Structure 1
Amino acid sequence: MLEFKNHSGIYTLEAEQVINVGLKDAWEFFSSPENLQRITPSHMGFKITSSVDKKVYAGQIITYKVSVLPGIQQNWVTEITQVKEQHFFIDEQRFGPYKMWHHEHWFKELPNGKTVMYDKISYKIPFGFLGVIAQSLFIKKQLTAIFEHRFKTLETLFNAK
């Protein structure tokens, strides 16, 4: 499931996926920042540039380089603002391509031993009406492609059993 909403100049993307792994293993995978590169499309040139030798924790700063457009690398700095072990964590952009970026990662174990992951991203695009045009022309498509890639990658990693 992937859904976009627009409210008060803020866009919200919501995604949900069930993976064939228990909550503990799902948390172990997603709370390791280095796994983000594994689930990001390679054409984005995503690379973590900071040290990430620990699982996510509140106050953690993570820096990246990412191609927002072909051939254009941008620095992106996020902070993990909240963590509740095996329930959720939140990252927020401090510097980067968006005017605002707030990403909630939620996890819930299902009775069948699988885990449902729910993402809610609230973001605001800079440049006023030009940002609105950019959202409709390529930002929404790029975010959709990122989450479709992630869905397929996670299907291969966890659901191909």
Structure 2
Amino acid sequence: MIESKESGMSFSQELAQSPCWASRWLWAAGIYNLAWGALAIAWPHLLFDLTGAERINYPEIWQCVGMIVGVYGIGYLIAASDSRTHWPIVLVGLLGKVFGPIGFLVALLRGTFPPLFGLTILTNDLLWWIPFMMILLEAAKHYRATSQPTGIARQQFVKQTKINASPDVVFRFHESPDALQQLIPPWENIKLVESAGSLQPSSRVVLRGSLGIMPIQWVAIHTEYDPPHLFADLQESGPFAYWYHRHRFLDDGQGGTPLRDEVEYAVPLGVIGRWLGGWLVRRKLEAMFAYRHEKTRSLIESREWTSALAASER
């Protein structure tokens, strides 16, 4: 089971709380842009003829403008699904609607366009200034309200898998000295370089490796210890702006253990980092924890680890 949450709310709850008025304005903007773009592509001379402007020699250029406007329309429709998450699309649209009138004024002063051509500015640009600015302000207020006291907007990742062994056995596996090294996916260029050999509070783990060409060092401190139910670690330094990982070992009452990893994290660079790389981080977490859970299940249920443990305790 995989869940993605922010500030304790599920994605669906977050989406439901995006304001309806913002969604309506963005739907309207998307449909308008698609219609305007289609008109420019189908009849590139129509607007020039209606406003008394001279037809351009290469109508294909105006048709390309129509295609760009249509792409903006698609962007607005995407943003309408969740204006808080997709605020950068709204920002880019607003900038275009500000620079467009400026460019028209320059052309008007040079005598390039007739004044009547400026009527298009009303519906193409000026009409959207206030609602787009209101959408951006609302998104900014939302992020300020949902950020943690440190100012970092955090997300949550949860992975749960049933292990056919008791919580005590699964917990003891995680306490074994080589457990963490075995759970590092083979495609990750990272190695365990320091471990206290304990999960108790204040014990430290250091991992080193690289992310692409960038070397990284990940230092985590164990903070919670309640065998055989829970242990947790907090990133002291590393690639994330924040990382807190709880390992829970639930008892299903039938001799099995739902192994549940709960991670609260924040990517670096704030909103920009979430926008550019948040999706990649989620994909890497999904792949990493899928491997960890399958490896844990395989080692324990095949009795490979329990046999080795029994031999070492004789």
- State the TM-score, normalizing by the size of structure 1: 0.88
2:238 counterpart residue number: 96
2:58 matched to 1:58?
A: no
In terms of fraction of residues, the more helix-rich structure is 2
2:157 matched to 1:49?
A: no
Q: Contact conserved, 2:195 with 2:204, CA < 8 A, in 1?
A: no
1:17 counterpart residue number: 161
- Matching residue's letter, 2:222: I
Shift of 1:94: 0.3
Match of 1:106 among 245, 248, 251: 248
Match of 1:147 among 286, 289, 292: 289
Change (3 A) 1:97 1:160: same
1:78 counterpart residue number: 220
- State the TM-score, normalizing by the size of structure 2: 0.47
Farther off after superposition, 10-19 or 145-154: 145-154
SS at match of 2:178: helix
Bigger relative contact order, structure 1 or 2 (CA pairs below 8 A, ≥6 apart): 1
Farther off after superposition, 31-40 or 90-99: 31-40
RMSD between superposed Cα atoms in Å: 1.8
SS at match of 2:4: strand
- Matching residue's letter, 1:29: F
In terms of fraction of residues, the more strand-rich structure is 1
CA distance in 2, matches of 1:76, 1:58: 17
Structure label with greater radius of gyration: 2
Deviations 1:71-115 (A, max 9, x none): 433100000011112110110000000111010111122222111
Q: Contact conserved, 2:194 with 2:206, CA < 8 A, in 1?
A: yes
User: What residue ranges of structure 1 are gaps of 5+ in the alignment?
Assistant: none
Q: Contact conserved, 2:170 with 2:300, CA < 8 A, in 1?
A: no
Change (3 A) 1:140 1:6: same
1:2 counterpart residue number: 2
CA distance in 2, matches of 1:70, 1:32: 30
SS at match of 1:109: coil
User: What residue ranges of structure 2 are gaps of 5+ in the alignment?
Assistant: 8-145, 147-152, 304-314
Q: Contact conserved, 1:19 with 1:116, CA < 8 A, in 2?
A: yes
Shift of 1:126: 1.3
Name the % identity.
25
CA distance in 1, matches of 2:177, 2:264: 20
Shift of 1:40: 1.9
1:31 counterpart residue number: 175
